[in-house]
Chains A and B, each alone.
Chain A
């Protein structure tokens, strides 16, 4: 594939990802006007937001192309979240959240 051809296919892929993100944002706006409870709306919007974030992370931030970095980001992020959830020494977590607190 020539450089120009590779460049065109990359631009095409970027525009396709952009279209996906626009569609997902549009779905969020449609959910906002649907006749459902607030908690259902919250869950559905959060799922769509996470799919959007995943698409942006994989394709716009190049994690799809770099497997090692992708796993590092996933593992490190989960470790940070678990550390904050179970290691934070605030009273709520010490009373309720941490398994060994009870």
Chain B
């Protein structure tokens, strides 16, 4: 074997070794694994908030049930679930290489997020108008409004961040700087935001309906 052959063989072995060394754990790319770890950690945050809410609700004597209608929260839930579907469409089109459609569906998802946030803020302003603030509640224990604004505010913050991320990643994907994997990873975060809402709605809204 010539020196050149040995050199090529060494290069191939080195590149194979490099590929083995950088092979993603569980065949998952590092970026996706990082997003999953973040989602698990953030789930623990929300779980802690909701469990604390449950304990405080059970322990409070005059816990109010101020929600008279479900229209607004039903509409918000519909919008957020639909945004998860539109995000799925965006990822599918990105995986098939259709950049234009993927970007369009990503923007539609972001618009759904903005609509959700607008409805949420409208609800907040309605409650503030009735006298409920972070430290005061006209219907009973002030802990109700503290917990309500804290938990829904934390979720709204996540939605807002998600909308920004969708717009930025969508634009960079369309510009060729990001690929379909990056769009999918952003979609994972958006589905997580929707998943959290599935727990917030029954615990914070539906259990506090006025009967």
Please list the residues of chain A having a beta carbon within 8 angstroms of any beta carbon in chain B: 3, 7, 10-11, 14-15, 18, 21-22, 25, 28-29, 31-33, 38, 41-42, 45-46, 48-49, 52-53, 56-57, 60-62, 66, 68-69, 72-73, 76-77, 80-81, 84
CB <8 Å contact, A14 and B44: no
With A32-B70, A68-B27 as contacts: A14 and B92 at CB distance below 8 Å = yes
Chain B residues, CB < 8 A from A46: 202-203
CB <8 Å contact, B198 and A45: no
Among A11, A25, A73, A76, which residue has the most Cβ atoms of chain B within 10 A? Answer: A25
Cβ-defined partner of B195 (8 Å) among A56, A68, A72: A56
Among residues 67 to 97 in chain B, which have CB atoms less than 8 Å away from a CB atom of chain A?
A: 70, 74, 77-78, 81-82, 84-85, 87-89, 92, 96
With A53-B199, A61-B188 as contacts: A32 and B206 at CB distance below 8 Å = yes
18 contacts between A and B (CB under 8 A): A7-B96, A14-B85, A32-B70, A32-B206, A42-B54, A45-B202, A49-B202, A52-B195, A53-B195, A53-B199, A56-B84, A56-B198, A60-B84, A62-B184, A73-B36, A73-B40, A80-B44, A81-B47
A17 to B184, CA, bound (A): 18
Extra contacts, 11 of them, besides A28-B206, A29-B74 (Cβ < 8 A), are A11-B92, A14-B89, A21-B84, A22-B81, A25-B81, A45-B206, A60-B88, A61-B192, A73-B36, A77-B40, A80-B40
Chain A residues, CB < 8 A from B82: 18
Minimum C-beta distance from B105 to chain A (A):
11
Q: Which residue of A lies closest to B44 (CB)?
A: A80
Chain A residues, CB < 8 A from B89: 11, 14
Minimum C-beta distance from B54 to chain A (A):
8
Cβ-defined partner of A28 (8 Å) among B40, B194, B202: B202
Please list the residues of chain B having a beta carbon within 8 angstroms of any beta carbon in chain A: 26-28, 32, 36-37, 40-41, 43-44, 47-48, 54, 70, 74, 77-78, 81-82, 84-85, 87-89, 92, 96, 184, 188, 191-192, 194-195, 198-199, 201-203, 206-207, 209
Among B40, B78, B203, which residue has the most Cβ atoms of chain A within 10 A? Answer: B40
A49 to B205, CA, bound (A): 13
CB <8 Å contact, B92 and A10: yes
Chain A residues, CB < 8 A from B37: 76
CB <8 Å contact, B81 and A41: no
CB <8 Å contact, A81 and B44: yes
A80 to B96, CA, bound (A): 36
CB <8 Å contact, B206 and A49: no
CB <8 Å contact, B40 and A49: no
Q: Which residue of B lies closest to A25 (CB)?
A: B77
